[in-house]
Structure 1
Amino acid sequence: MTDDVQSAFIDIPGVRNFRDAGGVGTLRRGVLFRSGSFHTLTPEGALRLKALGLRTVIDLRSRHEEDAFPDLRHDLDHETLRLPTLPANREDCDRPWPEDQVELYPFMAATAGPSLVAAIRRLGASGTLSAVVHCAVGKDRTGLTIAVVQSLLGASEADITADYLLSNTGLGLLDGPTPYVDEAGAERISRPVAAELLASSFAWIHDHHGSLPAYLHAHGATDADLDALRSNLSV
């Protein structure tokens, strides 16, 4: 598993933490990728994305992030689908806003259902692949979204977690937190991901809905949507 997962990283100049999400469960390689945003994508990076057959980008960031750090295209002709994982603002949120990374993961599970279902539907549609799912740096929001897809395609918890934890390698977080500048220009701290974080999202889903498919059904997904995802992405 380790050698295969490490080989998932792909050098796309100007894009952080870019890697193939395939090779986990029945998800085949070369059709679904994950990364940080494209706001510093270089022309060379765009050529490499074109060579990967990029057709769709699913952007999980907020509108504020998109406005501050818009993705660059360099004449790429992919379609971008904007599906914010988190509520648009704190004022309209009907539950306490997370104050740290530990609180973030159950919060994402509680609020990301519509985004996850829309992503699943798009990934199951014809003409969508290859696709990239990204947020700001590709570790938390992207981590949950990709983990849900991999789980639906039969991946084990251990393999999903191993793939998720690779963001620490991709973002230089193996030695601990590092500073970054957010969409408002403020310096913040990027913290490593940990197995228990992702597990807390899935625990919330199971505690409140019993299973991942039941959770997705509660947000409007149909069995046909889940079958289409498996058919489109599986080996």
Structure 2
Amino acid sequence: MTTRSRRVTSARLLSAALAVAATLGSLGFGATAAQAATNPQLQPALTAQDHAITDVPGLVNGRELGSFVGAGAQIVDAPRLLRTESLDKVTSAGAQTLASKYHVDLVIDLRTPAQVSAKPDVTVPGAQYVNISMFGSDGNYSDDTAMYHDLVDKGYVSPSSPGVMIGAYAQILRLMSAHTTGTVLIHCSHGMDRTGTVMDLLYRILGVGSSDILHDYLLSNTQLGVTWATPALLQGTFEADVAKKYGGLDAYISQTIGVTPTEATALRSRFLVSNDATASSISVGGVGVPLDTAADTGGAVVTAPIATLSASDVRVTTSSAAATSAVTVSGQTATVTVTAEDGTTMKTYTITVALPTIALAQGTNIAAGSTVHVTGAGFVAGAGYDVVVHSTPTVIGHLTAAGDGSITADVMLPASLATGAHTLFLADANGNAVSAPLSVTVPAATATAASTGSSGPSVATGGTVIAQPAPWPWIALGGLGLVLLALVGVTRRARSRFGR
């Protein structure tokens, strides 16, 4: 700790004064002190991805991990860790918020025993508390640069005797790698220097870039209303010393601190999440969807024999096993939304289902009683379908789709089919139309006695398929009538002879 400790109260008072000045400025009393004091280079503006904590009373410098891009294009999982100042000014309500909203169950305090004794943390309900003094027993510094030199390797003698600082880094990072539930909260006095170098190392392990690490470090200035943290301290002193003495941050982390590949992998698994919101496959009624087209503005159109589309007809496989998908349906259009593991990255796919079409080899002007050759494609392989003709729904044949979904069959139009326009389509076992209707016309010259066109349940709207009646009962009845008439005639002639 440097002479900053004597300036903390002043800084907090300054922050309050700046807030009052900002209010006066908003009322028209001239330029605010906050505007005059802002240093964009050292006090970057907070953004949504910085996740500043503003709802914990008594906490000024607090934020979750930044949602930066890390190794493998994954995203840092912000809620997994909080970096803050000491918790001695947090109210009991604030401590409860840390436990209930932020799920803090491990607090790592980097201060010296004397600092902890002077300003003990307010207890976070249910959280484990661990004190790891990075400076050992002596944390007083009169010069910031000297402090940042010591933040590299205070007490270092040899690899077998690395000293208090390197030992502290190893303990902190191993504790984080083994923590698999809840949220870690790590802090020092101001949440800036000791916490800042720990975060520098953690972010490096996670694969976060230097500019993002520096941005996160400088945000402590923004939240505290100071300019203590500088690139010269973090990059020009701490990181430069590491590079000079230990060959760079990667070597320092793996060789000097001794973070093993297993521990590094555990940290990445814990603090990185996928932002992959892509689908690896989508099918509708067993028909594959072209993903690139479905992701475009207009969406994709697929052909499938589905009379009424439902979410259960859509199957989605996500590229990342941790991603989730949701399907909504409006009419014959399905919208698939994939949400990445990070909970914010999403991708949408739109698919419209069109019914397959059928055709007649003979064209669409067909004489009643004619045999026609029906063809089509886009049906379910091995599924059976009825061939139906309107106006009065009449089944005129049955067929089974081939392995490639194509259909072909020869069927006969009813001889009694009336002159004029009719429709032909395929229906499933429930009588639902599963092909686009094909218009056919029976010319007047070839029409037989017109059918009455009586109304009946519509196959296209889910009605019962009406089977075509067989003609033989009527033929039999007609023949019987002729026989009876003949018998009557014979009887009359016999009576006339005997009557004479």
What letter corresponds to residue 57 of structure 1 in structure 2?
Answer: V
What letter corresponds to residue 219 of structure 1 in structure 2?
Answer: I
- Are 1:113 and 1:215, in contact at CA under 8 Å, matched by a contact in 2? no
State the shift of 1:5 in Å: 4.4
Distance 1:24 1:114, change over 3 A: farther
2:73 matched to 1:30?
A: no
State the shift of 1:98 in Å: 4.8
Q: Which of structures 1 and 2 has the bigger CA Rg?
A: 2
State the shift of 1:219 in Å: 3.0
Structure 1 stretch displaced more, 198-207 or 160-169: 198-207
Aligned to 1:211: 248
| Correspondences of 1:68-217 after superposition (within 5 Å) | 68-73=118-123, 76-89=125-138, 98-111=141-154, 112-174=165-227, 192-199=228-235, 200-216=237-253, 217=255
Q: Secondary structure at the match of 1:80?
A: strand
- Are 2:88 and 2:119, in contact at CA under 8 Å, matched by a contact in 1? yes
- Are 2:46 and 2:52, in contact at CA under 8 Å, matched by a contact in 1? no
CA distance in 2 between counterparts of 1:83 and 1:172 reads 27
Aligned to 1:177: none
Deviation per CA, 1:138-171, whole angstroms, max 9, x where unpaired?
A: 0111111111111111111111001100011111
Q: Secondary structure at the match of 1:215?
A: helix
What letter corresponds to residue 217 of structure 2 in structure 1?
Answer: Y
Q: Secondary structure at the match of 1:213?
A: helix
2:85 matched to 1:56?
A: no
State the shift of 1:2 in Å: 5.7
- Are 1:46 and 1:73, in contact at CA under 8 Å, matched by a contact in 2? yes
CA distance in 1 between counterparts of 2:89 and 2:47 reads 29
State the shift of 1:226 in Å: 1.5
Percent of paired sites with the same residue: 29
CA distance in 2 between counterparts of 1:201 and 1:137 reads 18
Deviation per CA, 1:59-79, whole angstroms, max 9, x where unpaired?
A: 1000000111111116x1111
CA distance in 2 between counterparts of 1:140 and 1:172 reads 15
What letter corresponds to residue 151 of structure 2 in structure 1?
Answer: M
Aligned to 1:188: none
CA distance in 2 between counterparts of 1:129 and 1:10 reads 20
- Are 1:39 and 1:72, in contact at CA under 8 Å, matched by a contact in 2? yes
- Are 1:117 and 1:219, in contact at CA under 8 Å, matched by a contact in 2? yes
Aligned to 1:66: 116
Aligned to 1:234: 272
Deviation per CA, 1:36-71, whole angstroms, max 9, x where unpaired?
A: 111122122012101111111111000000111111
Distance 1:127 1:208, change over 3 A: same
Higher helix share: 1
CA distance in 2 between counterparts of 1:20 and 1:10 reads 11
What letter corresponds to residue 249 of structure 2 in structure 1?
Answer: L
Q: Secondary structure at the match of 2:82?
A: strand
Query: What TM-score do you get using the length of structure 2 for normalisation?
Result: 0.40
Distance 1:44 1:101, change over 3 A: same
Distance 1:39 1:2, change over 3 A: closer
CA distance in 2 between counterparts of 1:230 and 1:136 reads 27
Distance 1:203 1:128, change over 3 A: farther
Query: What TM-score do you get using the length of structure 1 for normalisation?
Result: 0.83
Distance 1:25 1:100, change over 3 A: farther
- Are 2:80 and 2:183, in contact at CA under 8 Å, matched by a contact in 1? yes
Distance 1:124 1:171, change over 3 A: same
**Ranges of 4+ aligned residues in structure 1 off by more than 4 Å:** none
Question: Which runs of 5 or more residues in structure 1 are unaligned?
Answer: 91-96, 175-191
Q: Secondary structure at the match of 2:83?
A: strand
State the shift of 1:7 in Å: 4.0
Question: Which runs of 5 or more residues in structure 2 are unaligned?
Answer: 1-44, 71-75, 155-164, 274-500
State the shift of 1:3 in Å: 2.3
Deviation per CA, 1:21-41, whole angstroms, max 9, x where unpaired?
A: 231343211011100111122
Distance 1:87 1:155, change over 3 A: same
State the shift of 1:6 in Å: 4.7
CA distance in 2 between counterparts of 1:118 and 1:218 reads 13
Higher strand share: 2
Distance 1:25 1:119, change over 3 A: farther
Aligned to 1:21: 65
